[in-house]
Amino acid sequence: MKVVVLAGGVGGAKLADGLAATLPDEEITVVVNTGDDFEHLGLHISPDLDTVVYTLAGVANPETGWGRAGDTWNFLETLRSLGGPDWFRLGDKDLALHAERTRLLAEGWSLSDVTAHVAQALGVGPRVLPMTNDRVGTVVETADGPLPFQEYFVARGCEPAVVGFRFEGAAAARPAPGVLEAIGEADRVIFAPSNPWVSIDPILAVPGIRGALSAKTVVAVSPIVGGRAIRGPAAKMFSDLGIQPSAEAVAVHFREVLKGIVIDEADADQEAGIRQLGLDVRVTATVMKTSADRRRLADEVILFASSPAAG
Amino acid sequence: MKVVVLAGGVGGAKLADGLAATLPDEEITVVVNTGDDFEHLGLHISPDLDTVVYTLAGVANPETGWGRAGDTWNFLETLRSLGGPDWFRLGDKDLALHAERTRLLAEGWSLSDVTAHVAQALGVGPRVLPMTNDRVGTVVETADGPLPFQEYFVARGCEPAVVGFRFEGAAAARPAPGVLEAIGEADRVIFAPSNPWVSIDPILAVPGIRGALSAKTVVAVSPIVGGRAIRGPAAKMFSDLGIQPSAEAVAVHFREVLKGIVIDEADADQEAGIRQLGLDVRVTATVMKTSADRRRLADEVILFASSPAAG
């Protein structure tokens, strides 16, 4: 069964890792948000692509979810001692990927070629594609004015109240090579438990992707569990926008593209309401703490996506 | 006694360090070759400036002469595993300086402002100035064609036979702010035991510097001892150009600007020949292995430069 996973960072990476433990590598394509990509110290940084690639390569830092296991911080500590900007945490090993990507992009490589090259060097099996090779920048509209995503997320700690989102450059962006083909060939498309507003929506904002999904069976895994995000600002974003954060709110957000949604046992009481939206629902344990959790959730998601109701 | 030292990398850094142990910081200005500066991985790297600053800050790697003591190599090893260019040895701490310099230059800072900022952050006392804030690139003309200095030096291991040198951009370069003033105020100017061809000559190629020296008492320390360079390709460069490498050859090379030269005891037999060039000579131990060596040589150089014959 061929699957395409739309993914942001940690949640998407974990689910993709679970799928890779279940399905043959060649049946998995992960399409990753690049709206958080930014330039820092002259380096092109792709936080979500890196988290997905590191996780699938088995070299991700298990404590942080981002960056590499066993990394060191001599670069960052020295940068700080020189008065340089230390707000973005760059490990010494992690930095090498940013430098090499920046170098290859400057040589004219596309982001998808760089990603494939890095994935191969790190021994990643499933195909990992950026949503686009064009520049799309997520801007968080806040009470303090518009903020580029990393500034909102890292520098401001998600503190300013969100009033909306903008994906700069999206209208002119093209899906990266292989994205529409993978969706076209996919038996199922899965929205990973990633932030709806700033991980999945930027992917859907790339012209052609939403349309390609309309012919597909699409299921989501809710990133909101018990009214909270497993990690990151998704719940706060719902709240700031005047929406009670819940699995049901995620279902409402994506109702036009989804056939079904996987929600956590903690949210079982929302099943009926979601079914009233016309969506199928699977209730299961969705929090991925261990490798076994990842695989079990992946199995559940595949079973659910293959069931007659969702399909 | 105010001194200006013209310096390349390790030899210049060590002599400057010896001078800093002898003279008050405010009496020392080190004017450093930037002809070896280059772009690598998008970073502006200034090898000689860094060696001088690290040495004066007491954080230089005592084994290599370049880079920082106790540095780690996680960046470089990871870069290599990704198939990236690993021919230039970049330690994790060292990298932070290149990144911060690159960032500040991109913000519009001059190289001399960056250098002053870094020197202050690292607690360096003497003033360290790049020879110019303009781009001057040392090109080594070889039997294999012209090679940018770093490619000749690091990537090609100084192997191609040298037929000449070119300092691209030098004709249009201006001395960095403070360079001509420091020379004008100096009681003595010292050529460090640095490579005449690719460390001192690029400095002299910046319009205005050679002229400013003509009014000054200038003494050199020979980087050639016993027919060999203490380090680096200086001796091979002399040989490739058909000149027997010797302290006397260094004296001949600089005879128009020098009043005197400090040569090693190993070369005492060359004293008479150098005196016939009209230069004063001091014979002493010039190889700096320890901090005490640096200071002793600095004391000797100052005494020599202050002596009536040299002055």
Exposure class string for B231-261: b at 16+ Cβ within 10 A, else e: ebbbbbbbbbeeeebbbbbbbbbbeebbbbb
Model confidence at A310, pLDDT cuts 50, 70, 90, reads: low
Confidence category of residue A204, pLDDT binned at 50, 70, 90: very high
HSE-up (13 A, CA, CB side) for residue B307: 17
What whole-number percentage of chain B has pLDDT above 90?
Answer: 93
Nearest to A41 among B72, B93, B99 (CB): B99
Which residue of B77, B92, B93 to mutate against A (max A Cβ within 10 Å)?
A: B92
Of B82, B97, B100, the CB nearest to A118: B82
Residues 6+ apart with CB under 8 A from B67: B54, B60, B61, B89, B91, B94
Q: Where are the alpha helices (DSSP H) in chain A?
A: 10-20, 47-57, 74-81, 92-106, 111-121, 149-150, 179-185, 201-204, 209-213, 234-240, 247-254, 271-276, 291-306
Q: Kindly state whether residue B20 falls inside one of the protein's structural domains.
A: yes
Count of pairs with CB atoms under 8 A, one residue in A, one in B = 109
Per the structure, how many domains does chain A have? 1
Report the alpha-carbon distance of residue A239 to residue A235 in Å, rounded: 6
Of the candidates A7, A67, A2, which has an alpha carbon nearest to the alpha carbon of residue A32? A7
Residues B279 and B3: beta-carbon distance below 8 Å: no
Relative to beta strand A280-284, strand A188-191 is: unpaired
Cα distance between residue A258 and residue A274, in whole Å: 11
pLDDT for the residue numbered B191 = 98
- Nearest by CB: A92 against B72, B85, B103: B72
Cross-chain Cβ contact B103/A71 below 8 Å: no
- ipTM of the complex in this document: 0.88
Q: Which residues in chain B are closer than 8 Å to A81, comparing Cβ atoms?
A: 96, 121-122
CATH number, domain containing residue B271? 3.40.50.10680
Checking if the pLDDT of A305 tops 90, the result is yes
Query: Which residues, other chains included, contact B180 with Cβ-Cβ below 8 Å and sequence gap of 6+?
Result: B208, B209, B212
Stretch B52-68: mean pLDDT, rounded? Answer: 93
Closest Cα in chain B to A98: B79
A interface toward B at CB cutoff 8 Å? 41-43, 68, 71-72, 74-79, 81-85, 91-93, 95-97, 99-100, 102-103, 106, 117-118, 121-122
Minimal Cβ distance to B81: which of A83, A102, A121: A121
Which carries the bigger pLDDT value, residue B64 or residue B10?
Answer: B10
Q: B307: pLDDT confidence band, cut at 50, 70 and 90?
A: confident
The CA distance from A210 to the nearest CA of chain B, in Å, is: 34
Contact between B250 and B219 under an 8 Å Cβ cutoff? The reply is no
Q: What percent of chain B has pLDDT over 70?
A: 99
The residues pairing with A145 across neighbouring beta strands, listed in sequence order, are: A142
Give pLDDT tens digits for B267-297: 999 999 999 999 999 999 999 999 999 999 9
Of all residues in chain A, the one with the smallest CA distance to B103 is A41
Structure tokens at A21: 């433990």
Domain assignment present for A49: no
How close does chain A come to B259, measured CA to CA in Å? Answer: 40
Among chain B, residues having any CB pair with chain A shorter than 8 Å are: 41-43, 68, 71-72, 74-79, 81-85, 91-93, 95-97, 99-100, 102-103, 106, 117-118, 121-122
Half-sphere exposure of A118 (CA within 13 A, CB side): 33
Instruction: Kindly state whether residue A193 falls inside one of the protein's structural domains.
Output: yes
Whether A114 maps to a domain, the answer reads no
Residues of chain B contacting A102 with CB distance shorter than 8 Å:
41-42
Both tokens of A15, joined, read 């689910």
Indicate whether A92 belongs to any domain.
Answer: no
Q: How many whole angstroms separate alpha carbon A260 and alpha carbon A279?
A: 5
- Give the pTM: 0.89
Tell me the pLDDT tens digit for each residue of B142-183: 999 999 999 999 889 999 999 999 999 999 999 999 999 999
* B209 assigned to some structural domain: yes
pLDDT of residue B155: 85
* Per-residue model confidence (pLDDT) at position A62: 87
Domain carrying residue A287: 3-38+125-135+171-306
Residue A170 and residue A34: Cα distance in Å, rounded?
Answer: 11
DSSP B131-166: SBSS--EEEEEETTEEEEHHIIIIISTT-SPEEEEE
| Average pLDDT of the residues in B15-39 | 97
Q: Which of A92, A102, A117 sits opposite B74 (nearest CB)?
A: A92
List CB contacts of B104: < 8 A, sequence separation 6 or more: B113, B114, B117
Find the CB nearest A102 among B42, B68, B95. B42
Residue A61, domain member (yes or no): no
Residue of chain A nearest B98, judged by CA positions: A79
Give the end-to-end CA distance of chain A in Å, rounded to a whole number. Answer: 13
How close is the nearest chain B Cα to the Cα of A153, in Å?
A: 22
pLDDT confidence of B302, banded at 50, 70, 90?
Answer: very high
Q: What is the pLDDT of residue A309?
A: 61
- pLDDT (0 to 100) of residue B76: 97
Whether A98 is in a domain gets the answer no
Reported as type and span, the H/E element at residue B51 is helix B47-57
From the CB of residue A134, how many other CB atoms can be counted at a distance below 10 Å? 17
**Minimal Cα–Cα distance from B13 to chain A, Å?**
20
Cβ separation A42–B75 shorter than 8 A: no
- Interval A141-173: pLDDT, tens: 999 999 999 999 988 999 999 999 999 999 999
- Chain A residues touching residue B72 (CB < 8 angstroms): 72, 74, 92
Residue B131 to residue B154: CA distance in whole angstroms = 22
Answer yes or no: do B82 and A100 touch at CB < 8 A. yes
User: Which residues in B lie closer than 8 A to residue A123 (C-beta atoms)?
Assistant: none
- pLDDT greater than 90 at residue A299: yes
Look at residues B171, B140, B167, B186 and name the one whose alpha carbon lies nearest to residue B29: B186
In whole angstroms, give the CA distance from residue A179 to residue A31.
Answer: 7
pLDDT surpassing 70 at residue A234 = yes
Distance, in angstroms, between A280 CA and closest chain B CA?
43
Across chain B, mean pLDDT equals 96
Q: What is the pLDDT of residues A41-75, one digit of tens each?
A: 989 999 999 999 999 999 999 888 889 999 999 99
- Say yes or no for a CB contact (<8 Å) between B72 and A83: no
From CA B153, how far away is CA B224, in angstroms rounded?
A: 18
* Test mutation, B50, B59, B71, B100, chain A, max A CBs within 10 A: B100
> CA-CA distances (angstroms) from residue B10 to B52, B69, B160, B218, B266?
7, 14, 23, 20, 21
- Does residue B309 have a pLDDT over 80? no
Cβ separation A75–B83 shorter than 8 A: no
Angle between the N-to-C axes of helices A47-57 and A10-20, in degrees from 0 to 180, rounded to the nearest 10? 30
Residue of B nearest to A77 (CA): B93
